[in-house]
């Protein structure tokens, strides 16, 4: 297999990893990594947590230093891709340059769903996606007295914890009825609700935002859907993302909640792969339904699969999804996908903020959510990596221990 | 800038310049030391940055504790001197420190 050139669009977690893994696998051809953000490729998770708190510096966000790209012959271009010319296998860039490819990899990620209310354009209103967002937000977060967070998802809550730690009054507006409702069980939501309230965060569930109010162009409050006014000098929203699929759409590739790919992460054009936040793939852990995941694990493991295939070692993508979020002193880790679970078994103690929730579907373990129980999370990753034999009845037995069960059932 | 030495399981040595305040994991990945995927980027969430601190250096670093120790329980071939290198922050007195890499991270 000798592809002369691989061109990767999107220099984020997935795009970077495809380039790095290709070289690791011994690929000798040309690699072009095309980004649209300034600077070197960096990781996003700390942007809504440690980086905002000043616990880690800018250089700690980078995947690799500048020398890496030179020594590994990864050509990094800061020139957004604007069109794919599939017929001639060329990618057109904003500067007008065209780059030829033998294989094209789309790793364009997703952008924040914008806040659909008047006032969303004010300078003190933020989504958190890029380092530029975090750099602009950090000084305001340090001074803010009243913060309104819109959306009680992972990023909204990570920021709520940061803002509370920095001393602000934090008010979270959420349309749903509990935190992280789309991603975690009721039991885990409840633990996080209590923890955030203990840190001083105030929740308003089943509540929307109708407008952001300003005083001479500066945010001074928000109006809730039920007509109340809340004081605010900073508004941060996290209400989901929209995959950056425009390039692929315009090029006529199949689209379905992002760029549609097959089990090998190939798009409807066999010369083009897609992965990471932008790709919806047939997910083994979700009954092969087309699924789009937004996580570091998904980006990295998919990148390894794509790089291996390009090196002549094809395999169907099937890695176990796992995820983490850090909020205050709580680390929530999720192994597997809990979609459609119908029963749970709870281990540990919510009061001590050490809890694991085992999610079962048709009496089959599908996911384990752990808060400050890393051992359970790691055991769960081992257990879920193969068709798990653990039943809800076994897990519910007096004195059940997930780590011990894993050790005893390693075969 | 302390110099650290990483020794791969196959015996290959890598001398790496670290910066004070940087994690040992980042010093290694920045220098492309193989065998440390460090998937979570230092968030103590993946356990793929496992190293063994050379016996001669054990008085300079504490044993793994808390969350890190829990994660390590599932690392491949954990030993008493196992540490997740993303949780080891480089300080002046680590000049010359030697770390060994396990045969696998998974
Ligand atoms: C604030 C924040 C916190 C997070 N925390 C966690 C966490 O704790 N745990 C976890 O598992 N995951 C977390 N995630 C999710 C994780 O970071 C993403 O899933 C991951 O970055 C996805 O990788 P990607 O390469 O698909 O997309 P990205 O990393 O977003 O990279 C895509 C890149 O492509 C660029 N691009 C788009 N279009 C073009 C174009 N036409 N030309 C050139 N470049 C283009 C984009 O600007 C971007 O730089 C977090 C994400 C954010 C934003
Ligand atoms: S890099 Fe993930 S635990 Fe150290």
The pTM assigned to this predicted structure is 0.98
Give the bridge partners for A149, in sequence order: A172, A236
Tell me the pLDDT tens digit for each residue of A61-85: 999 999 999 999 999 999 999 999 9
State the DSSP H helix or E strand holding residue A329, giving kind and residue range, or none if neither: none
Instruction: Pull the structure tokens for residue A202.
Output: 């105030």
> Which domains does chain A possess?
5-111+242-310 (3.50.50.60), 114-239 (3.50.50.60), 329-408 (3.30.390.30)
Tell me the pLDDT tens digit for each residue of A202-257: 999 999 999 999 999 999 999 999 999 999 999 999 999 999 999 999 999 999 99
Instruction: Please count the residue pairs, one from chain A and one from chain B, whose beta carbons lie less than 8 angstroms apart.
Output: 58
Q: Is the pLDDT of residue A129 over 80?
A: yes
Beta strand residue intervals within A125-248, DSSP E: 125-126, 146-150, 169-173, 201-204, 209-215, 218-224, 229-231, 234-237, 241-243
Tell me the pLDDT tens digit for each residue of A141-157: 999 999 999 999 999 99
pLDDT of A411 reads 72
pLDDT of A354 reads 96
Mean pLDDT of chain A: 97
Task: Look at ligand 1, atom 35, and give the residue with the nearest C-alpha.
Answer: A10
**CATH 3.10.20.30 for the B3-94 domain, yes or no:** yes
Q: Is the pLDDT of residue A2 over 80?
A: no
Identify the residue among A60, A374, A385, A401 best suited for mutation to test binding to B, counting B beta carbons within 10 A and taking the highest.
A374
Domain ranges of chain B: 3-94
Neighbours of A97 (CB within 10 A): 11
**Mutation pick for ligand 2 pocket among B28, B35, B40 (CB with most ligand atoms within 8 Å):** B40
Q: Is the pLDDT of residue A357 over 60?
A: yes
What is the C-alpha to C-alpha distance for residues A119 and A331, in angstroms, rounded to an integer? Answer: 34
B44 lines ligand 2 (CB under 6 A): yes
Confidence of residue A388 (pLDDT cuts 50, 70, 90): confident
What is the C-alpha to C-alpha distance for residues A300 and A319, in angstroms, rounded to an integer? Answer: 10
State the DSSP H helix or E strand holding residue A66, giving kind and residue range, or none if neither: helix A66-71
Instruction: Please compute, for residue A290, the number of CA atoms within 13 A of its CA located in the half-sphere on the CB side.
Output: 13
Confidence of residue A311 (pLDDT cuts 50, 70, 90): very high
Of B32, B40, B74, the CB nearest to A324: B40
Instruction: Please compute, for residue B36, the number of CA atoms within 13 A of its CA located in the half-sphere on the CB side.
Output: 29
pLDDT of A1 reads 54
Among candidate residues B103, B54, B43, B106, the one with its CA nearest the CA of residue B83? B54
What is the C-alpha to C-alpha distance for residues A253 and A376, in angstroms, rounded to an integer? Answer: 41
pLDDT of B106 reads 80
pLDDT of B95 reads 95
Question: Percent of chain A having pLDDT more than 90?
Answer: 99
Among candidate residues A378, A341, A340, A339, the one with its CA nearest the CA of residue A356? A378
Give the bridge partners for B99, in sequence order: B6, B53
Of A300, A324, A375, the CB nearest to B45: A324
Which ligand lies nearest the alpha carbon of B41?
2
Average pLDDT over residues A125-135: 98
Q: How many residues does chain B have?
A: 106
Confidence of residue A410 (pLDDT cuts 50, 70, 90): confident
What's the Rg (C-alpha) of chain B?
A: 12
Which ligand lies nearest the alpha carbon of A81?
1
Q: What pLDDT tens digit does each residue of chain B (106 aa) get?
A: 899 999 999 999 999 999 999 999 999 999 999 999 999 999 999 999 999 999 999 999 989 999 999 999 888 899 999 999 999 999 999 999 999 999 998 8
Contact A162, A48 (CB under 8 A): yes
Distance B71 CA to ligand 2 centre (A): 9
Beta strand residue intervals within A53-168, DSSP E: 74-78, 81-85, 90-93, 98-100, 103-106, 110-112, 125-126, 146-150
pLDDT of B35 reads 93
Residues of B with Cβ-Cβ distance to A403 under 8 angstroms: 73
Of A24, A65, A296, the CB nearest to B40: A296
pLDDT of B25 reads 98
């Amino acid at each position: 297999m000798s592809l002369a050139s691989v061109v990767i669009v999107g220099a984020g977690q997935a795009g970077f990893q495809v380039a790095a893994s290709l070289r690791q696998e011994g690929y000798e051809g040309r690699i072009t990594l095309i980004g649209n953000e300034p600077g070197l490729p960096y990781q996003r998770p700390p942007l809504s947590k440690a980086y905002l708190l000043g616990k880690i510096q800018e250089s700690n966000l980078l995947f690799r230093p500048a020398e890496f790209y030179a020594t590994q012959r990864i050509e990094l271009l800061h020139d957004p891709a604007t069109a794919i010319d599939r017929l001639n296998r060329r990618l057109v860039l904003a500067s007008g340059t065209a780059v030829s490819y033998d294989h094209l990899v789309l790793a364009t990620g997703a952008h924040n769903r914008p806040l659909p209310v008047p006032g969303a354009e004010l300078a003190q209103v933020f989504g958190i996606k890029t380092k530029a967002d975090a750099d602009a937000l950090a000084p305001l977060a340090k001074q803010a007295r009243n913060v309104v967070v819109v959306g009680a998802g992972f990023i909204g809550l990570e920021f709520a914890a940061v803002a509370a730690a920095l001393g602000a009054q934090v008010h979270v507006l959420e349309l749903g009825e509990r935190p992280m409702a789309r991603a975690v069980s009721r039991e885990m939501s409840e633990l996080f609700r209590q923890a955030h309230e203990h840190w001083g965060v105030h929740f308003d569930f089943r509540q929307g935002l109708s407008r952001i109010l300003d005083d001479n162009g500066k945010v001074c409050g928000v109006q809730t859907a039920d007509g109340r006014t809340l004081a605010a000098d900073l508004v941060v929203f996290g209400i989901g993302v929209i995959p950056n699929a425009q390039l692929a759409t315009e090029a006529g590739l199949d689209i379905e909640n992002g760029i549609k790919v097959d089990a090998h992460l190939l798009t409807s054009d066999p010369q083009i792969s897609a992965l990471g936040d932008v790709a919806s793939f047939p997910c083994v852990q979700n009954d092969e339904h087309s699924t789009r995941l937004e996580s570091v694990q998904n980006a990295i493991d998919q990148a390894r699969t794509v790089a291996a295939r390009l090196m002549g070692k094809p395999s169907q993508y099937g890695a176990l999804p796992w995820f983490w979020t850090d909020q205050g002193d709580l680390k929530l880790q999720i192994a597997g996908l809990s979609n459609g679970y119908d029963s749970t078994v709870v281990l540990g103690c919510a009061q001590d903020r050490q809890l694991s929730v085992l999610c079962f579907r048709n009496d089959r373990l599908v996911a384990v959510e752990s808060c400050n129980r890393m051992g359970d999370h790691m055991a769960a990753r081992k257990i879920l990596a193969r068709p798990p034999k653990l039943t809800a009845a076994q897990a519910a037995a007096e004195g059940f221990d997930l780590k011990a069960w894993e050790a005893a059932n390693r075969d | 800038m302390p110099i650290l030495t990483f020794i791969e399981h196959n015996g290959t040595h890598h001398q790496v310049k670290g910066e004070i305040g940087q994690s040992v994991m980042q010093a290694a990945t920045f220098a492309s030391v193989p065998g440390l995927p460090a998937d979570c980027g230092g968030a103590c969430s993946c356990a793929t940055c496992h190293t063994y601190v050379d016996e001669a250096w054990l008085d300079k670093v504490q044993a793994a504790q808390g969350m890190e120790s829990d994660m390590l329980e599932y690392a491949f071939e954990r030993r008493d001197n196992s540490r997740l290198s993303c949780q080891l922050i480089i300080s002046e007195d680590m000049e010359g420190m030697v770390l060994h890499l396990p045969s696998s991270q998974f």
